[in-house]
Structure 1
Amino acid sequence: MGYILLALFLIIAILCYLEDYIRKYQKSLFFLIGLVLIFVAGFREIGLDPDSENYEYTFQNYFKNGTDEMIEPSFLLISYILGLFTDNVHMLFLIYAIFGVSLKMFAFRKMSEFYFVPLLCYISFYYVLHDLTQIRAGVVSGIFLCTLPLIAENKKKIAFFILLGASLIHYSSLILLPVLFLNNKPFCKKTTILFLCAIPLGYVVYYAGGSILMNPSLPFIGNKLAIYQAAVEKGKMTVGINIFDPLHIMSIMLFYYLFLFKDTLTKLCSNFPILLKTSAIGLSLYSAFAFLPVLALRTSQLYCIVNILLYTYILYTFKQKWIGISFVLIISLLLLYVSIPHYGLGMMIILN
């Protein structure tokens, strides 16, 4: 699988440099790559990633043996319908891949003028994390990206019901509801100060500590988080989080780099303000919730899905496009370095 990912990465990287010369074939190649990504995610080998064996067991045995595990209604419905025809879990993977990959690619086309640069950022990390591993969260992250333009257009009621409905796919979508309080207005003096301070504030919250979020009485997520945390403490599940992790620090540096160009990028990219604000929330939550690693990783990863598009906008900060592409390529290579070995999730949550 690692070789397949590397081959796709190299092909997409080459297409990034050739994009201006192959305009006639952009849509066809974009569509073809999407099909390949769906096929790879749908028919990957069981046991190659941290979650596939768990999915297979649940898919084949949930209705036979019964369980007290809280599983989202959509997963049960899809599993039940597919179970009438087959016990091959790859059909389940394929359905989630179709929605997860397609929704993200739709969002890329809506919020970026580039075809292949967003794909480069996507396949280097989030494709592996979400669409090859946390498949339910993968669909939710795609839905989330698609709702951001609605929020930017102040169609917040529609976005609210979409995110609420997404909780049927994965309860983590409820964590995304605070984004409804954001807007797409250009940064003024107050919002500039607020979002500049958001990430340092996350570190302050971490060092202040907290335990309320581990309360099992919290609806939907409290009990699951408590179970995850207990598993970590007993050594049954490994979750490592370092608030000064080099990858996290790199993300913070890129956030502030983009912030320097906020006025220019706001003029060039209509959805830039809300994407940058969303990224600020994700990066701050990583450190703020680090005392509960499961929550920190899940929330931060969902919010920071917008970094795929934000890193694409880095191209606008260079006069020569090829230099911008090369800069993004280096970032993507670093992300790929993290994600390829064992899907790069040995340090992250292994239950979905």
Structure 2
Amino acid sequence: MKSGVKNISQNSLLVFSAFFFIAFILILLAGFRPSGFDPDYYNYLETLTLDVKDFSFFSMEPLYWALVYLNKLLFNANPNSFFLIVATIFVSVSMYAIKKYSVNIFLSLILFLFLFFPDFGLIQIRNGMAIAVFWLAIHDLINNRTKNFIIKCVIATLFHYSLVISFIFIFFSKNKINKIFYIFLPLISFFIGKYLFTLENFKIIIPFLPSFLQFKANAYVSLMSTGVENSLTKINIINLKSLSFIIFYYLSILVTPKRENVTFWTMYIKVLGVGNAIWFMFYNVPVFSFRFSNTLFTIIVFLLPVVFQRFQKHSKIICIQIIILWTVLLSYNIFIKHEIFNFSVF
């Protein structure tokens, strides 16, 4: 018995040490990346020296500006210290959530490292901090800690306004799911987007949005009205990334999880389902489409491990290997092939 306890203790220490080491490396990579390595680097750099009176709470969120102020106060607006602070929040909270809630830490880490860290740890850093908090929030909801869920959703929204979408999940049941509805939800959403959520109809909705979303929406509509085509004004709704998430979605619906994971699986499916619905429903307003949907797509970090836990040992190993290979190839396609990062700065 003592030997068994000792082995468990050693394994726990090994896992903790590995997590700490990976987190430390990721934080250093994000904090000391070269100037101009990611597409938003200089946009954030411009905000670091602004006076408090110049903070715009319509363009960026209160907790982001709080970090800018803190960095200016403590580190004289040094960009490295700022990105280290942001990375520490994103990486530590994300990895804490994975360690605490994932049923397969290794698979969750692979998904996080290859699909989401490059995007939300280096580019969309405000959204990254918000998503990390949302991961904790959704598990509070699943575990009936509704008050904690609401508090964390407020914090997430103060990091990035797109997380206002997270509040809707308080109305979702974790105990039952209408599989037929969720199977057809992407198709229904596509037709709603095609015939109802057109750009003209979206303009009608804008005055009813919260003021901070009105500002963003009006800016995006003005951009689209220029007729210039870029990633903010036009998207290909069926690309390798969106197709991958659709496949993950349907695979997850069709596989019945283990009994002890049913409530988690149910809520994860609903989060991913809403993400897919938003992707198709708002494709006429691309920024809203990918801002909200990409946030919710991150739930696969927890969903896929639950799905593959259902398989037998040998088939599970094969499936996980396939998913890892696909994840690496998808990451290459998104971030390397499309030259998202500027490696020439090294």
Q: d(CA) in 1 for partners of 2:146 and 2:215? A: 29
**Structure 2, gaps ≥5 residues long:** 1-9, 342-346
Alignment match, 1:277:
270
Alignment match, 2:231:
238
Q: d(CA) in 2 for partners of 1:308 and 1:184? A: 18
1:148 to 138, 144, 148: 138
* Deviation for aligned residue 1:34: 1.2
Q: d(CA) in 1 for partners of 2:29 and 2:45? A: 17
Secondary structure of 2:111 counterpart? helix
How do residues 165-314 of structure 1 correspond to structure 2 at under 5 angstroms? 165-187=155-177, 191-210=178-197, 211-214=200-203, 215-217=205-207, 218-219=209-210, 220-234=212-226, 235=228, 238-239=231-232, 240-262=234-256, 264-268=257-261, 271-314=264-307
Q: d(CA) in 2 for partners of 1:62 and 1:71? A: 14
* Deviation for aligned residue 1:298: 0.6
Secondary structure of 1:142 counterpart? helix
Alignment match, 2:40:
51
Residue 163 (str. 1) matches residue 185 (str. 2): no
Change (3 A) 1:225 1:90: farther
**Structure 1, gaps ≥5 residues long:** 1-20, 347-352
Q: d(CA) in 2 for partners of 1:288 and 1:208? A: 10
Contact 2:68–2:77 under 8 Å retained in 1: no
Aligned identity (percent) is: 24
Secondary structure of 2:35 counterpart? coil
Secondary structure of 1:32 counterpart? helix
* Deviation for aligned residue 1:28: 1.1
Q: d(CA) in 1 for partners of 2:249 and 2:218? A: 32
Contact 2:134–2:153 under 8 Å retained in 1: yes
Return the letter of the residue paired with 2:240. Answer: P
Which deviations, in whole Å up to 9, do the C-alpha atoms of 1:3-45 show, x marking residues without a partner? xxxxxxxxxxxxxxxxxx9776222112211111111112211
* Deviation for aligned residue 1:65: 6.3
Q: d(CA) in 1 for partners of 2:229 and 2:82? A: 27
RMSD of aligned residue pairs (Cα, Å): 2.6
Alignment match, 2:330:
335
Change (3 A) 1:236 1:192: closer
Contact 2:189–2:281 under 8 Å retained in 1: yes
Return the letter of the residue paired with 1:88. Answer: N
* Deviation for aligned residue 1:216: 4.5
Residue 90 (str. 1) matches residue 80 (str. 2): yes
Return the letter of the residue paired with 1:113. Answer: V
Change (3 A) 1:343 1:92: farther
Change (3 A) 1:63 1:164: closer
Q: d(CA) in 2 for partners of 1:24 and 1:333? A: 28
Alignment match, 2:93:
103
Q: d(CA) in 2 for partners of 1:31 and 1:270? A: 29
* Deviation for aligned residue 1:63: 4.5
Which deviations, in whole Å up to 9, do the C-alpha atoms of 1:195-232 show, x marking residues without a partner? 22221111111111324544543221122122123224
Which deviations, in whole Å up to 9, do the C-alpha atoms of 1:33-72 show, x marking residues without a partner? 1111111112211211111100001112354867686322
Q: d(CA) in 1 for partners of 2:339 and 2:231? A: 13
Residue 73 (str. 1) matches residue 66 (str. 2): no
Contact 2:255–2:307 under 8 Å retained in 1: no
Contact 1:152–1:183 under 8 Å retained in 2: no
Q: d(CA) in 2 for partners of 1:343 and 1:82? A: 33
2:122 to 123, 132, 139: 132
Change (3 A) 1:340 1:317: same
Contact 2:39–2:123 under 8 Å retained in 1: yes
Equivalenced residue count is: 322
What TM-score, normalized to structure 1? 0.83
